[in-house]
């Protein structure tokens, strides 16, 4: 169970994961040893799974975001999602309720890149149908879990 100190430490690391433990300790008003022990405990429990840079997709030529709904047949949902997840353009795959079985979020270079991706999706044995939504404007996209 997360307590207030763990929450404060994670917030500090969310602001800047490269912050020194000394700076985190100062910010959350505890000892450096306490911060080190808490972070180690959170990592070992799998609550903190790593530290990654947050990059700007457009800098890397990924100028188009698409949200793609899938209908997957024959009870092959997980198997099909695992195949799709191997594509580096895919950033999220969700099982969802409602009319569709799965939702994909992906970053693409351009419309042709997206077109190629969709055609590949539709060639998969158990993908029956897709509906693609192109993101026009990102109002908010938080890639960290704020606790």
For position 120, which CATH number holds?
Answer: 3.30.70.920
Structural domain includes residue 141: no
Shared-domain flag, residues 31 and 63 = no
Distance CA 24, CA 11 (A): 10
User: Quick check: 22 and 32 in contact, CB under 8 A?
Assistant: yes
Residue span of the structural domain in which 95 resides: 57-134
Shared-domain flag, residues 62 and 119 = yes
Render each residue's pLDDT in the chain as its tens digit; 147 residues.
789 999 999 999 999 999 999 999 999 999 999 999 999 999 999 999 999 888 999 999 999 999 999 999 988 999 999 999 999 999 999 999 999 999 999 999 999 999 999 999 999 999 999 999 999 999 999 888 888
Shared-domain flag, residues 69 and 113 = yes
Q: Report residue 4: phi and psi, to 5°.
A: -60, -40
Shared-domain flag, residues 75 and 130 = yes
Structural domain includes residue 104: yes
Distance CA 98, CA 102 (A): 10
Cα 48 to chain centroid, rounded = 14
Shared-domain flag, residues 62 and 127 = yes
Structural domain includes residue 147: no
Shared-domain flag, residues 22 and 71 = no
Domains in the chain, number: 2
Shared-domain flag, residues 40 and 72 = no
């Amino acid at each position: 169970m997360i307590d207030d100190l763990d929450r404060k430490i994670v917030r500090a690391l969310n602001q800047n994961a490269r912050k020194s433990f000394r700076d985190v300790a100062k910010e959350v008003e505890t000892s450096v040893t306490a911060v080190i022990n808490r972070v180690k405990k959170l990592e070992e429990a799998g609550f903190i799974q790593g530290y990654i840079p947050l990059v700007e997709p457009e800098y890397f030529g990924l100028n188009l975001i698409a949200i793609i709904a899938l209908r997957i047949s024959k009870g092959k949902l997980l198997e099909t999602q695992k195949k799709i997840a191997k594509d580096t353009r895919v950033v999220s795959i969700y099982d969802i309720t409602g009319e569709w079985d799965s939702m994909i979020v992906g970053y693409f270079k351009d419309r042709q890149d997206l077109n190629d991706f969709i055609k590949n999706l539709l060639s998969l044995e158990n993908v029956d149908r897709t509906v693609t939504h192109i993101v026009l404007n990102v109002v908010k996209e938080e890639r960290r879990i704020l606790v």
